[in-house]
Structure 1
Amino acid sequence: MNRALVVGIGDYGRLMQDLPGCANDRAGWSQALRGALGLGGTELRVRADAQATKLTLLNDLAWLLDNVSPGDQRVFFFAGHGARLRRRDPVTGIADDVIDETIVAYPGTSGDYEGFMLFDADLAAMIDQSGFPSSARLTLVMDSCHSGGMMRRLIVGEPLDVPLPRCLMIEEEEKALSRAWLAQPTVRSFGSLDRAQTQVQRVILAAARAEQPAWDDRMPNGLRHGVFSYHALNALAAQPAISFSDMVATIAPLIAARFPQVPTLLGDSSRFSNRMFN
């Protein structure tokens, strides 16, 4: 049985760093995956804004990775903020010198940033501990920034016709990363755990390189989208049998014409030349 989890967070509540294109990305990928994977009503889960808390996403991911049979396809799509954060020891409170990359869930009332971050290492561990069989296919499509602290904050009341980076701005982390002793920090790139330690192979189609922002802007159809999602969905509609490699080759020059953003493939390279969805 094929399954897909589609998450698009455009309204980040109290953080006031909204991304207006995520709603259209969420709708577009939901429709595309429903058709490409032949999904019924119970085989597709869609989470929007306040629905997409960290706890809900962890439960949804457990569902996505459960009850997998040979030949099944499971897909996780995320549109929203990414961030880079130094995790803190739960006992000492000391921040790690190594920076982890995260996707940002909808925030609760706590001011603890880690409380609504889904770290790449935790996601990888969850996948590896799931018992996901090698005879099935797991794909992650991530339309979020994998770099934090580089781009400006969205000012309340600013017009939404300007391009926006999908990078959560965390003031204290920006200050820490600017200090001399962290001028060249070690960063664990999303999805790049040691291959020898990876138990379950997956393909990650990322909207941008680890050091780049992914952009949200008004596109030629007159609507806001993630720049990556807009071009990827158009390419998939035009070529339903497109491979991962051909997808990147098709959309990369279209994105580069306006934005310093390069879509990237990570993970199981043996699947890169294969059809993305069927």
Structure 2
Amino acid sequence: MPRRALLVGINDYQKISDLRGCLNDVSNMRSILKTYLGFRNNDIRVLSENRATKENILHRLRWMVKLARPGDFMIFHFSGHGSQIRDRNGDELEDGLDELICPFDCDWDGRFILDDDLDEIFRGLPKNALLEVFLDCCHSGDGTRGISRTGHQQEHSAASRYLEPPLDIRFRYEDEENELSATRGFQSGNRSGNRSMQNHILWSACQSDQESADACISGVYNGAFTYYFCKHIRETGGFVSRRNLLERIRNSLHHNGYPQYPQLTCAKEADFENRPLQFPSSDEPERLLFLTTPYMRGNDVKKIQQALAKAGFSIIADGVFGPHTYETIRQFQEKNNLAIDGIVGKTVRAMLY
């Protein structure tokens, strides 16, 4: 199965304020792809610093989509500044905001990459190809570089990855906030509600009204979202559903005081339960199910619970592998003379099904 990745990171911008953790984000994601997911050097393209221009980013994305065939899997990860501007159609204002990512050569005269630009490219993906997109930037802010933090642990300083538009851009929609559409940009569709999500999955570092942290963690600058994404991939070996991974990342950010709430958008419900950063094959082995924090969730858990109920055990099929499911598995194992560990693997499944 062909796989390709484009990783973009920019610390040293040509005309706008610099960041510190974006190159580390690229290195971290590249390590994950190679160590846990079988990507080779030739499968991964990196654009960083002055090579990450608008022209180069769009060229590489078009190249990746052009080569895509059914069954291919692709990754686009961007780490840098983001912003948003009022959408304009010629001289007429429309309701809504365009969210954007900022390339190395970003300026406010068109040198930025809009959500519409990405959507146009992604619409070229063939059916049954899959693209997983990661945006470790933010598209809203209060005009300050600092981020307020309220968690239990205090790591070092953190700065926002939001770029405030200049006055002339901001004044285009001053006092018109109430007219803006509720759905907008990367995260929830464009103004007309026809944002294409048919064959790509989107991870966003924060909600559209939050800031994404460029943070010093254990003495090294990283994007807080990318750092905890990679941390939990390593801890689980990649054997974790997207839904469960999202919950882990949110918990880590909250515990460490980062006021950002990452978002995950999938076209199909099944994509939430599949593993991240890979295209599930029809013969992919089912994951081990066990008690962990946060709890595992998904249709595979629900299927086990339904089988236990059919076998006469008292259990609710809610799709959550909590303490009661764990204890019920242990009861099933004891009754069938199996090792009593509360883990659902091949042996337990074979006896239940």
TM range (shorter): 0.7 to 0.9
In structure 1, the residue matched to 2:258 is 259
1:102-251, aligned counterparts within 5 Å? Answer: 102-107=100-105, 111=107, 113-128=108-123, 130=124, 132-148=125-141, 150-153=142-145, 162-172=157-167, 175-176=170-171, 179-182=174-177, 185-186=180-181, 188-193=184-189, 198=196, 200-220=198-218, 222-239=219-236, 240-251=238-249
In structure 1, the residue matched to 2:64 is 64
In structure 2, the residue matched to 1:158 is none
Cα deviation 1:209-245 (Å, max 9, x = unaligned): 111110011113x200011111111001111122211
CA contact (8 A) 2:122 2:196 kept: no
CA distance in 1, matches of 2:172, 2:160: 18
Amino acid aligned to 2:122? I
CA distance in 2, matches of 1:184, 1:164: 30
Aligned-residue CA RMSD (Å):
2.4
CA distance in 2, matches of 1:177, 1:124: 24
Amino acid aligned to 2:200? R
Q: Which has the higher contact order (CA 8 A, sep 6+)?
A: 1
SS state of the match for residue 76, structure 2? strand
Amino acid aligned to 1:237? R
SS state of the match for residue 98, structure 1? strand
Size of the aligned set, in residue pairs, is 262
Is 1:8 paired with 2:9?
Answer: yes
Alpha-carbon offset, residue 121 of structure 1: 1.6
CA distance in 2, matches of 1:246, 1:96: 38
Q: Give me the identity figure in percent.
A: 28
Which blocks of at least 5 consecutive residues in structure 2 are unaligned? 147-155, 279-353
CA distance in 1, matches of 2:52, 2:240: 30
Cα deviation 1:95-151 (Å, max 9, x = unaligned): 55531101111126xx5x1522111122112111x1x23322210011110214x13
CA contact (8 A) 1:177 1:183 kept: no
Cα deviation 1:40-92 (Å, max 9, x = unaligned): 332210011111111000111012212223332100001001100124455x4
Amino acid aligned to 1:238? E
CA contact (8 A) 1:191 1:266 kept: yes
CA contact (8 A) 1:52 1:106 kept: yes
User: CA 1:267/1:171 → structure 2, altered by over 3 Å: closer, same or farther?
Assistant: same
Alpha-carbon offset, residue 35 of structure 1: 3.1
Q: TM-score, normalised by structure 2?
A: 0.68
SS state of the match for residue 110, structure 2? helix
User: CA 1:215/1:41 → structure 2, altered by over 3 Å: closer, same or farther?
Assistant: same
CA contact (8 A) 2:132 2:277 kept: no
CA distance in 1, matches of 2:224, 2:179: 29
Amino acid aligned to 2:57? L
User: CA 1:269/1:261 → structure 2, altered by over 3 Å: closer, same or farther?
Assistant: farther
CA distance in 2, matches of 1:44, 1:98: 35
User: CA 1:117/1:229 → structure 2, altered by over 3 Å: closer, same or farther?
Assistant: same
SS state of the match for residue 259, structure 1? coil
Deviates more, 1:62-71 or 1:173-182: 173-182
User: CA 1:43/1:80 → structure 2, altered by over 3 Å: closer, same or farther?
Assistant: same
CA distance in 2, matches of 1:166, 1:18: 9
Amino acid aligned to 2:114? F
Alpha-carbon offset, residue 185 of structure 1: 3.0
Alpha-carbon offset, residue 202 of structure 1: 1.1
CA contact (8 A) 2:86 2:172 kept: no
User: CA 1:217/1:198 → structure 2, altered by over 3 Å: closer, same or farther?
Assistant: closer
Which blocks of at least 5 consecutive residues in structure 1 are unaligned? 155-160
User: CA 1:251/1:153 → structure 2, altered by over 3 Å: closer, same or farther?
Assistant: closer
Deviates more, 1:182-191 or 1:135-144: 182-191
